[in-house]
Amino acid sequence: MVSATAHAGSPPAPSVPSSASVAPRSDRDRFAALAFCWADLLLHLDEAGVIQFAAGAFSAFTGRTPPSLVGEHFLSLITPEDGPKALGYLKQTHGRGRLEGAIVRLSRQQGLPLPMDLSAYTLDGHCYVALRLRAHSPDRAHDRASRDQRTGLLSAEAFSETAGRRVKAAREAGRDVGVTLVNLKGFEDLQGRLDESRASTLLGALGESLRTAALDADSAALVAEGRYGLLHDASLDVGALEARLEALARGHDPSGEGVEVETAALDLHGSGEVREEDLARGLLYAMNQMQRTSTGALSLRTLPTTLLKLVAQAASEVTDFRRLVADRRFHIAVQPILSATTGNIHHYEALCRFEATQPDASPFRAITFAEETGLIHEFDLAMAHKALEWLGSKPRNSDAYQLAVNISGYSIGISRYVDGLLALLENNPWTRGRLMFEITESARMTDLDAANQFIQVLRGLHYRVCLDDFGAGAASFQYLSALEVDVVKIDGSAVRNAMKVAKGKAFLSALTELCRRLGVSTIAEMIDSPESLHFVRDCGCDYVQGFLFGRPSLNIKDFSPLPHEDLFLKPPRRRVTVTSNAPALPSATPPRA
């Protein structure tokens, strides 16, 4: 590593071969140059995490020069949300001597945080850190959503992607690794005995123990409450891990009862002959089986633990789902979106239903499966075809039939979906002004610039775009600033939370005012009671959607007459043009220059 007195961008001083002190400096400079083959930023930290030396493109990345960082703590470079995680990485590096495959977000004076791959090692108590920009993503919002903030553990989906790749690489390198599933039986009862502070401490301690046992911080996952998975060296003493977790639970339990820890190892035999994506799919299938099984009935002994069998079962489910999508064996149910003041129906949201006899049955399981297995873009495109069929069955000389269809944030990054959708719209120009799109699962958008380009193409073709689930997470305002849309749909949880606290009304009113100034209309969802309707109306929401006005139905006539018409300021008129103080949803327009 380069000496602490060198500055980034300054070439090493000419050396004098006879000087005994020159060789070490020359070697350190050479090693630093080699490190830059991988890294964008290099840091030397003391035992307390204080920066002793910085080199690299810090000015471009953070707006600060490397010398100005000397004497500051490493956490000053990291976003506050990732601070606890980054401290955990430093602790693991000091404990093991080395860390690879970690991810942190670099704080910037201007612009969105930058996701960075982090590697580190220790020598003589000092820590040497290398950071590299994640080349596939200028704003990896998915990374924020894929880690549980209480335990620091990855989601099952993110874990399966990482573990599948690492298992494959380890097997090819002749390294022996293992995958273990962990279930804390009685964990739900234990949580009921803990106050909030003690529960938070326990979750943090459990996460730390599992990360320490795993290959690194990104090799352990939270599957569900009390259920975990980890990738580890085959030499791991699983019995000792079980004892450690049981001791943690007993130590935090006021009754001293604790939990029973059950583990099962996945048999990786033959995994070297399986494709990386199939390995990930098999691991995810195991995680999901754990998640879907009720706590009381769960026993890891009931789950298949042969990875190849899991891969085969996952592949079978994928084949069945693909056939269902290809044959379009699903239906469209609709739910109205109406003016908050007049009750005039503006448009309907298209909702998928797999059982025509159960229009109120949620497709959550199937949609989640599609997202987990990377098939959601195929389903989204099939749903767009279904939406066109629905619109085509209605009179084209009436403006009473407008439909919003969902697009997963994941699909936006799939070229096959984008190309297929644009070709569909180009062949059906009559849908302009009658079809709009709602972007769901915004956290899955890995490239906001590319996502915005796609949105502007749709708007340029005169299709309106809505950003769904707004207000459900801290990243919502980043999406609103980065994506130019026509509408935002305020998440039902945000509405409920605003109704619970005194300052909630001020917050929601400020949010709608911000949108109004941006020329963006607002829809409040999950309006299920007269109280919630009055609340969002007072807060300035333009449109509403919810069970108060009818549950999703395969028959549009179920909304005529509209339930609870008496709650509106004047009798509703079945027209698209809204004549009220609330602004109408804007017509889709080409992106502004």
Which of these three, 319, 347, 364, is where a domain ends?
319
List beta partners, residue 229: 181, 221
CATH number of the domain to which 82 belongs: 3.30.450.20
What does the alpha-carbon distance between residue 94 and residue 251 come to, in Å, rounded to a whole number?
A: 26
Dump pLDDT digits (tens) for 436-447.
999 987 666 767
Which of these three, 263, 298, 319, is where a domain ends?
319
Q: Is 50 exceeded by the pLDDT of residue 16?
A: no
Q: Are residues 68 and 196 in the same domain?
A: no
Q: Is 70 exceeded by the pLDDT of residue 362?
A: no
Residue 252's pLDDT band (boundaries 50, 70, 90)?
Answer: very high
Residue 516's pLDDT band (boundaries 50, 70, 90)?
Answer: very high
- Looking at residue 340, what is its pLDDT? 95
List beta partners, residue 230: 180, 220
Q: Is 80 exceeded by the pLDDT of residue 431?
A: yes
- Looking at residue 576, what is its pLDDT? 43
CATH number of the domain to which 471 belongs: 3.20.20.450
Find where tokens 């030396």 sit: 53
Task: Please indicate, yes or no, if residue 521 is contained in any of the structural domains.
Answer: yes
Q: Are residues 293 and 345 in the same domain?
A: no
Q: Is 70 exceeded by the pLDDT of residue 13?
A: no
Return phi, psi of residue 417, to 5°. Answer: -70, -50
Give me the number of domains the chain comprises: 3
Where is average pLDDT lowest: 10-19, 28-37, 285-294, 537-546? 10-19
Q: Are residues 309 and 345 in the same domain?
A: no
**55 Cβ contact list (under 8 Å, min separation 6):** 2, 6, 7, 8, 32, 41, 42, 66
Measured in whole angstroms, how far is the alpha carbon of residue 435 from the centre of its chain? Answer: 27
Residue 272's pLDDT band (boundaries 50, 70, 90)?
Answer: low
Q: Are residues 424 and 540 in the same domain?
A: yes
Task: Name the residue among 406, 543, 513, 414 with its Cα closest to residue 465.
Answer: 406
- Looking at residue 144, what is its pLDDT? 41
Question: Regarding beta strands 331-339 and 260-266, do their DSSP bridges make them parallel or antiparallel, or are they unpaired?
Answer: unpaired
Q: Is 90 exceeded by the pLDDT of residue 300?
A: no
Element (H, E) at 313: helix 307-326
Q: Are residues 459 and 483 in the same domain?
A: yes
Length of the chain: 593
Mean pLDDT of 464-490: 84
Where is average pLDDT lowest: 199-213, 307-321, 454-468, 491-505? 307-321
Q: HSE on the CB side for 343, CA within 13 Å? A: 21
What does the alpha-carbon distance between residue 299 and residue 183 come to, in Å, rounded to a whole number?
A: 8
* Helices 196-213 + 83-96 axis angle, to 10: 40
Q: Are residues 268 and 377 in the same domain?
A: no
**154 Cβ contact list (under 8 Å, min separation 6):** 146, 147, 148, 162, 218, 220, 221, 222
Return phi, psi of residue 31, to 5°. Answer: -65, -35
Q: Are residues 172 and 277 in the same domain?
A: yes
Identity of the highest mean pLDDT range in 218-232, 371-385, 480-494, 560-574: 480-494
Return phi, psi of residue 237, to 5°. Answer: -80, 95
Return phi, psi of residue 145, to 5°. Answer: -80, -15
Residue 259's pLDDT band (boundaries 50, 70, 90)?
Answer: very high
DSSP-assigned letters across all residues of 5-34: T--TTPPPPPP-TT-TTHHHHHHHHHHHHH
Where is average pLDDT lowest: 34-48, 68-82, 466-480? 466-480
Task: Name the residue among 491, 488, 440, 429 with its Cα closest to residue 463.
Answer: 429
Task: Please indicate, yes or no, if residue 6 is contained in any of the structural domains.
Answer: no
Could you write out the three-class secondary structure of 40-62? Answer: CEEEEECCCCEEEEEEECHHHHH
Here the tokens at position 534 are 């009055």
Q: Is 50 exceeded by the pLDDT of residue 149?
A: yes
- Looking at residue 21, what is its pLDDT? 37
Here the tokens at position 462 are 């005169």
Identity of the highest mean pLDDT range in 227-231, 400-404, 583-587: 400-404
Tell me which DSSP letter residue 50 carries.
B
> By residue range, what is the domain housing residue 41?
22-135
Q: Are residues 119 and 167 in the same domain?
A: no
464: left (phi over 0), alpha (psi -120 to 50) or beta: beta
Residue 71, classed as helix, strand or coil, is coil
Residue 230, classed as helix, strand or coil, is strand
Task: Please indicate, yes or no, if residue 300 is contained in any of the structural domains.
Answer: yes
- Looking at residue 418, what is its pLDDT? 94
The better pLDDT of the pair 337, 290 is held by: 337
Task: Name the residue among 403, 348, 406, 354 with its Cα closest to residue 380.
Answer: 406
Mean pLDDT of 415-423: 93
Task: Please indicate, yes or no, if residue 26 is contained in any of the structural domains.
Answer: yes
What does the alpha-carbon distance between residue 311 and residue 158 come to, in Å, rounded to a whole number?
A: 17
Task: Please indicate, yes or no, if residue 591 is contained in any of the structural domains.
Answer: no
Share of the chain above pLDDT 90, in %: 36
DSSP-assigned letters across all residues of 326-389: HTT--EEEEEEEEETTT--EEEEEEEEES-TT-TTS--HHHHHHHHHTT-HHHHHHHHHHHHHH
What does the alpha-carbon distance between residue 32 and residue 299 come to, in Å, rounded to a whole number?
A: 51
Q: Is 50 exceeded by the pLDDT of residue 351?
A: yes
Mean pLDDT of 399-416: 89
**Do 163 and 155 form a contact (C-beta atoms < 8 A)?**
no
Q: Is 70 exceeded by the pLDDT of residue 304?
A: no
Q: Is 60 exceeded by the pLDDT of residue 20?
A: no
The better pLDDT of the pair 24, 457 is held by: 457
**Do 332 and 390 form a contact (C-beta atoms < 8 A)?**
yes
Q: Is 90 exceeded by the pLDDT of residue 129?
A: yes
Q: Are residues 312 and 333 in the same domain?
A: no
Residue 451, classed as helix, strand or coil, is helix
Dump pLDDT digits (tens) for 47-96.
999 999 998 888 888 888 999 999 999 999 998 878 888 888 888 888 87
Where is average pLDDT lowest: 145-154, 283-292, 294-303? 294-303
Share of the chain above pLDDT 70, in %: 75
Q: Is 80 exceeded by the pLDDT of residue 201?
A: yes
Task: Please indicate, yes or no, if residue 585 is contained in any of the structural domains.
Answer: no
DSSP-assigned letters across all residues of 97-143: SEEEEEEEEE--SSSS-EEEEEEEEEETTEEEEEEEE-TT-SS-HHH
Q: Is 80 exceeded by the pLDDT of residue 141?
A: no
Q: Are residues 237 and 367 in the same domain?
A: no
Task: Please indicate, yes or no, if residue 593 is contained in any of the structural domains.
Answer: no
Find where tokens 């739910």 sit: 335
Q: Are residues 374 and 249 in the same domain?
A: no
What does the alpha-carbon distance between residue 574 and residue 568 come to, in Å, rounded to a whole number?
A: 14
Find where tokens 């592949």 sit: 315
Find where tokens 């959601």 sit: 376
Q: Is 80 exceeded by the pLDDT of residue 109?
A: no
Task: Please indicate, yes or no, if residue 577 is contained in any of the structural domains.
Answer: no
Mean pLDDT of 274-294: 66
